Structure 1
Amino acid sequence: MTAEQYGVAFPGQGVKAHTLLLALCAHVRHPLVARLLKTFSAAHPEALDLGDTAIVQPATFAAGIAAADAAFGPDHRPPVALGHSLGELTAAAYVGFLGADEGFELAVDRGRLCHDQGLRRPGAMVAIVGADAGELEWLRRGVIAEHGEILDVAGLNSARQTVLSGTPEAVAAAVRIAEEQCLRAEVLPIPGGFHSSLMMDAVPAWRRRLESTDFRPGATRFVSAIDARPHTDPGQVREQLARGLVLPVRWQEAVHTVRDLGVPGLVDAGPGTTLLKLGRRARTLEFTGLGALPEPVPPG
C-alpha cells in the first residue's frame, strides 16, 4: 500500500503535554505554529501553558496540520479524513471544508469556550478498560443512583475501552468502583467534562461561531466520529462539529465506516500515538504513524 492510499486521522486534546510540546518544536517553522505562538504571545513553544485547555486545543490543531503537511505536502488530500473530538475540526480543515487559518481561529474559540465552561461547570474524564457495554452501563448507572451526579458516556474508543465524562465527584466514584471490579481506570489529563451534558450550555455560542464561518465542499471524504457517517455536505459537517461538544465520540464505529468505504489503512497524524495504539489493538484496518509511512512510488 502506498502512502497516498492511507486516510488521515487526527487526535483530540488528550495528548500529554510533553508529547504536544515535542510536536510543536518539530514543526516550529510551520505558519500555524508561528500563528499559535503569536496568538498567545509566546517566544517559543516551551513558553506555552500546555495544561490550559484554551491553549491546548489550538496547539493540537496546529501540530496536527503541520505534521500532515510535512509528511504529505500541503496540497495532498487523502481518500478520507476523520478526527477524534477536537480532531474532527482538524480533519475538516485538512480536507478543505474550511481553510486552515479559519480552522485555527475556530480551535482558539473552541478552546476558550471549553475552558470557560469547565470553570462554570467543573468536570473530569476517565477511560475504563476491560468492561463490556453491559458492565460499563451498570457501573455508570450505579454511580448516578448513589451520588446523583452527571456521568455520561463520552467516548466509545474500542470494544474494551470506554471514556466516561461528568462531575469530578462522579468520575472519582467511577474510578473507585472500577478498581473494586478489577477494571483499569485512567483519569485523562483533560480539565473538563467534555462530551457530556455539562457542556450543553456552551453549544449555542459554539454554534453561532461555526455559523459565522464559511464552510464549503471538501476535496475528499470526511467521516464524523459523532455519527460515524461519511459527509460531503458542508452544512452537515458544521452540524457534527456543533454537536460534538456534547455527544460521545463513536471512534470504533467511525473506523469501521472508513473500512467499509474501501480505504485500506489510516495514518495517525498526531500529535502523539493515541489513535495508532487504539487502531492496532482493534485491528479493524491497518494503522500506522507518519514516521512509518511507505516511501511514495516515483512517477513513471
Structure 2
Amino acid sequence: MGRDLYEADGPSRAVLEVARRELGGDLLSVMFEGPEEALTRTENQQPAIVAHSLAALALVREAGIAPDFVAGHSLGEYSALTAAGCLAPEQVLPLVRFRGELMARAGDDAPGAMAAVLGLDAEPVREIVAGIEGAGTVVVANYNSPGQVVISGEVNAVEVAGAACREAGAKRVIALDVSGAFHSPLMEPATAPLIARLGETEFLPAAVPVVANVDARPHTDPEETRANLGTQMTSSVLWEQSVRWMIGEGVDRFVEIGPGTVLSKLIGRTDRGVATFSVDHPEDVSKLTAELGQGGV
C-alpha cells in the first residue's frame, strides 16, 4: 500500500519520508512489500493507514481542495485532526503507533472479539447487548450506517449477542478479523497511557471543525480534542450520527481520503442523496478536481 503515492514524488513522497524518519524504514518496507501478516499487526497497521491517508491528503491539498468539516472513523479521526491543522505528520505518526501498541497489548491481555451485525436496526442491537447476562461484556462499538452496527467485547459475549441478533432478524452477523475488542471496556488498560501521551502532545485549534466519534458534534478546541481522543478507544464510534449531522449542516459532498472506499459506501447507505468521492491513488486527485473544480468540498 502507498507505493504509488511515494513514486508520485512531490508532497505525497514528503509525507512518507516523514514516516520513514519518525518510525523507521521498516514501516515503508512493510507498506510497499509486505508481508501481509506484518502489515495487519495493529502496531504497524495503524501508522501505515495514517501515513497512506496523509500522503493522499497532501495531493488533495496541492490541488487546492479544502473541506468545510472533517471527520474520521476510529483511527481515521487522527488523520482528520491532521487535515484540520491540529497535528503535524511528525506528531501524529508516532502517536498512532503508540496507540496501536497499546491496543495490541490490551488485546493480548484481554482477548476479545468484534462482529458486524447487518440488516438489523441499531435500537434492537442496543437492547440485545444491554440484556446479555452471565456471558460477559459486550457493547455496540460502531454505528456505521442504517442496518450496520458492530458489537465488541469478550469472545463468548459477542457470540451470544450475535446469535440473539440473528434470532431478532439480522440478515448476517460477521465475525471481524481483529486483534482485540476495540471500542469496548476491554480497551480500558490502554486509556491511561494514551491520555498521558496526549497530554504531552501539543494540539493546535482546528482550522475547520472536526466532527468527533464520541459525540457526533464539531470541535475546534485543543482541550476538547484531547478529551475526545482519550475516551475514544472505549466509546462507540458514532459514524452514522456524524454523517447525518454534517448533512444537516448542508454538506452534500464527501471525500474519503486514504486506503479503500469503505466509508464512501457507508455514507451512501446513510443518505443516497449525497455525492461521495475517494482518493486512494494519485490519479484519483485529477478525477476529484474534475468533479469538484477548485472550490471547497
Q: TM-score, normalised by structure 2?
A: 0.85
Deviation at 1:268, TM superposition (A): 1.0
Query: For residues 110 and 208 of structure 2, what CA distance do their matches in structure 1 show?
Result: 37
Which among 155, 176, 180 is matched to residue 168 of structure 1? 155
Query: For residues 167 and 40 of structure 1, what CA distance do their matches in structure 2 show?
Result: 36
Q: Is 1:87 the counterpart of 2:87 in the alignment?
A: no
* 8 Å Cα contact 2:15-2:58 kept in structure 1: no
Which among 3, 24, 30 is matched to residue 39 of structure 1? 24
Which among 43, 47, 50 is matched to residue 61 of structure 1? 50
Q: Is 1:276 the counterpart of 2:264 in the alignment?
A: yes
Residue 293 of structure 1: aligned partner: 288
Tell me: higher relative CO, structure 1 or 2? Use CA pairs within 8 A at least 6 residues apart.
1
More helix by share: 2
Query: For residues 79 and 134 of structure 1, what CA distance do their matches in structure 2 show?
Result: 31
* 8 Å Cα contact 1:27-1:67 kept in structure 2: yes
Aligned length: 275
One-letter identity of the residue aligned with 1:207: I
Query: For residues 64 and 238 of structure 1, what CA distance do their matches in structure 2 show?
Result: 21
* 8 Å Cα contact 1:53-1:115 kept in structure 2: yes
Query: For residues 94 and 285 of structure 1, what CA distance do their matches in structure 2 show?
Result: 22
Greater displacement, 38-47 / 52-61: 38-47
Deviation at 1:75, TM superposition (A): 7.2
* 8 Å Cα contact 1:77-1:220 kept in structure 2: no
Gaps of 5+ in 1: 1-20
Q: Using the aligned pairs only, state the percent identity.
A: 32
Deviation at 1:74, TM superposition (A): 8.1
Gaps of 5+ in 2: 8-12
* 8 Å Cα contact 1:113-1:202 kept in structure 2: yes
One-letter identity of the residue aligned with 2:154: T
Deviation at 1:251, TM superposition (A): 0.6
Query: For residues 131 and 83 of structure 1, what CA distance do their matches in structure 2 show?
Result: 24
Residue 10 of structure 2: aligned partner: none
Q: CA 1:74 to 1:218, structure 2 compared with 1: closer, same or farther past 3 Å? A: farther
Which among 148, 154, 173 is matched to residue 185 of structure 1? 173
* 8 Å Cα contact 1:126-1:188 kept in structure 2: yes
Q: Is 1:130 the counterpart of 2:119 in the alignment?
A: yes
Q: CA 1:39 to 1:135, structure 2 compared with 1: closer, same or farther past 3 Å? A: same
Equivalent positions of 1:194-233 (< 5 A) are 194-233=182-221
Deviation at 1:241, TM superposition (A): 1.0
Q: Is 1:139 the counterpart of 2:134 in the alignment?
A: no
Query: For residues 47 and 134 of structure 1, what CA distance do their matches in structure 2 show?
Result: 40
